[in-house]
Amino acid sequence: MVLSLIRRAASTASKVPPADEADPAAFAEGECFTTSTEDFPLSWHILLEVLPDGIAFIDGPGVIRYANDQLATLTGYARKELVGRTIEFLVPTINQNEQPALRTRSVRHSHKHKNVVDLDLTLVCKNGSETTVHLDRSPFVLDGETWHVVTIRDIYAQRAAELALAQSELRFHMAFDGNVAPMTVTNLEDRITAVNDSFCAMVGYSREELMGQDSKIFTYPEDVGITEESHRRALFGEADQNRYIKRYLRKDKRVIFVEVSRTPARDENGALLYFVFSERDITEERALSAQLSHQALHDPLTGLANRALFMDRLSQAHARITRQGGTCAVLVMDLDNFKGVNDTYGHLVGDQLLVAIAHRLTQSSRSSDSLCRSGDDEFLYLAEGLASPADAGLVAKRLLKVLTEPFSFADVKIEQHASVGVVVWDATCTDQAEIVQNADVALFEAKRAGKDRHVVFEAGMDQQAVNRFELVQELRQAFHAGEISMHYQPIVDLTTTAVVGFEALMRWRHAERGWVPPIVFIPLAEQSDLILELGTFALREAVAAASTWERKGLEINWPYITVNLSARQFQDPKLVSIIEEALFENGLGPERLIIEITESVALLDIAETLNVIERLNRLGIGFALDDFGTGYSSLSYLALMRPRIIKIDQTFVSPTLESVRNDTLLEAIVSLGQKLNMSVLAEGIETQRQFVRLRCFGCELGQGFLFAPAVPSDEAASLVGQVLGSATG
């Protein structure tokens, strides 16, 4: 357009003076050209002034002869400063050699080559700043002379925008193609238009196989609808960003779980352009989560359900019988003396035993029932759909039966027994915690009844348990308040009836109940750690008391003291060190102390029993076997233990019904002790007849109310060496 105007102007223009004669100011003011007003109502340079681009006329030698206001504004030079110079001065010196098309010589001879220039270049403004422009240079001939019209457009903002766009696209492609996260781009039809290598690796398909496809090619068939619903919501603007989990079916047919995030891309007006997907393979994460969930609800050792899962299943069972009716039972099984296994063989064998027991119980369980390990050596069992309450007892017997056969681990053979508490319940029982609590109460009764059995919960047992609990609390308070004391019952030589020793017996005088029998509070203490504190107290008190007794009268040897130990005390690994400390603090010779345990305690773990006895023997401490004849002792075990004293149980000394058979048994026990070189001590001698009979059988020692009851320490001291023959008549 500009060139056509110039050509029209040139056709009526007067001769233009040569460049060296032209007045630059006049040229700049448009006076170097004259035009016919008939052809141009306005002068042609006024038309050029309204154009948005910078315009310059260059003569044959390459000198600027005209510059419009837009060029002056663009460069910062006045029009007068531009006219008369070559256009090269607007180009940075360092770039002039790179722009041969602007050189004066090139301009001068461009008509020979029909030279038309169309290029982008850097322009130097008057203030030294640089800007990017687009330059068009076209030649035309006027009166035989070659001229050029130059159009200069400022494209700095355009180039900056293009550069920013290019950099943005580069960053996007770097973030997209090089991203370790699988990514895809889909069009509004949800077909793939771009995909990165990470996504191809995740689904196993190549980029060529995926382009133009929708997600059905790699989506697990049952999960296709998930993507379709997400696409629908995105198209209708119901969710600007969607995140969901679905399964993918890889090309190799392996199923994986993927977390998908769909983000819509919009133009400046908010119209949807395409969708960007960022995805994450969460297969291993879900597997780990499932593993952690399993661990949270299962016992890590046996793999059985834990107590939390059992209580959930109990709640579900309650909901079922509420709807359908029926009877259920909860059974609590606790292994008898399992601590002895750990202490004797170590925790590794103990763990192997637990796993083996869990396996047997699982094999014996019905598919409709639930089994869990709720503690170290405790199992819970939920039996559903019982035909009658009596069936609960059958379930308990079935569980106990799995322990009939011994367990073998390498060179270790273990006979393990258990006690079971049973509670039968139906829809009327609304408190699941109370159900389990009642089963625990029944378990306690099974333990009290002798272990290796089951007991079914009955009304009133819970109140008895409360009473026992309260009594234990009172016993604990009484112990710490110093209200527990030790009494000592004399042991006499039945030949001379002289006092040769004492048995230490614990006594508790309750402020309201009066004297509480040991047969009541000792078993209660054994159910808690209080028995260890009481046992240590009894041992220290007895040793301290014995250290004050002196030899008197006919007594040749120092009087000794016997101290009873419970099963838990005897299995306490600190027992020997406690005894040594008590003897050292009180200066009592070890030969004057006799540790007394029952036959049942000794046979709980014969290997550990022999180990403790051997350690006591090395210290010079004696060992007495109490309640002999009441258990299931083996004579071979008796020979192995070699106790210093065998104590004949009171049931043989004062039987309910006297008989020749009972006398025969009593005489046989005494004779056995004599032959094994063990002292025999008869307990509970209450009558002259009993005393005479025992002495006739050759029984060496005795104690009982016939001689004296248990008395406080100061009274015991006065009995040392005395002959209690007057009591015998």
Question: Which of 409, 418, 300 has its CA nearest to residue 344?
Answer: 409
Burial category of 633 from C-beta neighbours within 10 Å (exposed 0-12, middle 13-18, buried 19 and up): middle
Residue that the structure tokens 């389990």 belong to:
436
pLDDT for the residue 106: 46
* Cβ contacts of 380 within 8 Å, gap of 6 or more: 307, 310, 330, 331, 332, 333, 371, 372, 373, 374, 436, 439
Burial of 652 (0-12, 13-18, 19+ CB in 10 A): buried
Contact 79, 67 (CB under 8 A): yes
Give tens-digit pLDDT for 445-492.
Answer: 898 787 889 999 888 776 776 677 777 888 888 888 888 999 999 999
Tokens of 683: 């307990």
**Where are the domains positioned within the chain?**
2-154, 168-287, 300-458, 485-728
**What average pLDDT does the segment 405-410 reach?**
89
Distance linking the first and last C-alpha atoms of the chain: 155
Cα–Cα distance measured from residue 148 to residue 696, given in angstroms and rounded to the nearest whole number: 154
What share of the chain in percent tops pLDDT 70?
A: 84
CATH top-level class for 2-154? alpha beta
Highest-scoring range by mean pLDDT, 26-35, 391-400, 406-415, 424-433: 391-400
Q: Which CATH class is domain 168-287?
A: alpha beta
pLDDT value for 392: 92
How many CB atoms lie under 10 A from the CB of residue 354? 23
569 pLDDT band, cuts 50/70/90, is confident
Output the DSSP codes for 369-397.
SEEEE-SSSEEEEEEEEESSTHHHHHHHH
**Three-class SS state of 467:** helix
Q: Report helix, strand or coil for 493.
A: strand
Q: Which residues sit opposite 421 in a β-bridge?
A: 332, 455
SS (H, E, C) 252-266: CCCEEEEEEEEEEEE
How far does CA 721 lie from the centroid of its chain? 67
Residue 104, amino acid: T
> Is 485-728 the same fold as 2-154?
no
**pLDDT attached to residue 96:** 56
**Mean per-residue pLDDT over the chain, rounded:** 82
Cβ–Cβ < 8 Å for 356, 350: no
- The structure tokens listed for 614 are 């051997």
Q: Does domain 300-458 have CATH number 3.30.497.10?
A: no
The whole-angstrom separation of Cα 616 and Cα 637 is 17
Sequence-ordered strand ranges (E) for 322-479 = 327-335, 370-373, 378-386, 407-409, 412-414, 418-425, 454-456
**pTM to 2 decimal places:** 0.50
- pLDDT, position 342: 84
- The pLDDT score that the predictor gives to residue 553 is 54
Supply 284's token pair: 């291993």
Please give the backbone phi and psi of residue 276, each rounded to the nearest 5 degrees, phi first: -110, 130
Higher pLDDT, 87 or 18: 87
Which residues pair with residue 66 across a beta bridge? Answer: 57
The whole-number pLDDT of residue 638 equals 76
pLDDT on residue 361: 94
Query: Is residue 597 scored above 50 in pLDDT?
Result: yes
Helices (H), 558-677: 567-570, 575-586, 599-602, 606-619, 635-641, 650-653, 660-675
74 with 123: CB under 8 angstroms?
yes
Rg (CA), the chain: 55
For 500, phi and psi rounded to 5 degrees? Answer: -115, -15
Residue 403 pLDDT level (bands cut at 50, 70, 90): very high
CATH T-level assignment (fold) for domain 485-728 = TIM Barrel (3.20.20)
- For residue 632, name the pLDDT band (cuts at 50, 70, 90): low
pLDDT per residue as tens digits for the range 114-163: 567 778 888 888 888 888 888 888 887 777 788 888 888 887 777 777 77
pLDDT in tens, 30-41: 444 433 333 334
Residue with more model confidence, 42 or 128: 128
Please state, in angstroms and rounded to a whole number, the distance separating the CA atoms of residues 213 and 191: 5
pLDDT, greater one: 598 or 464? 598
Q: Of the candidates 607, 528, 539, 541, which has an alpha carbon nearest to the alpha carbon of residue 568?
A: 528
| SS3 state of residue 533 | helix
Whether 29 has a pLDDT exceeding 50, the answer reads no
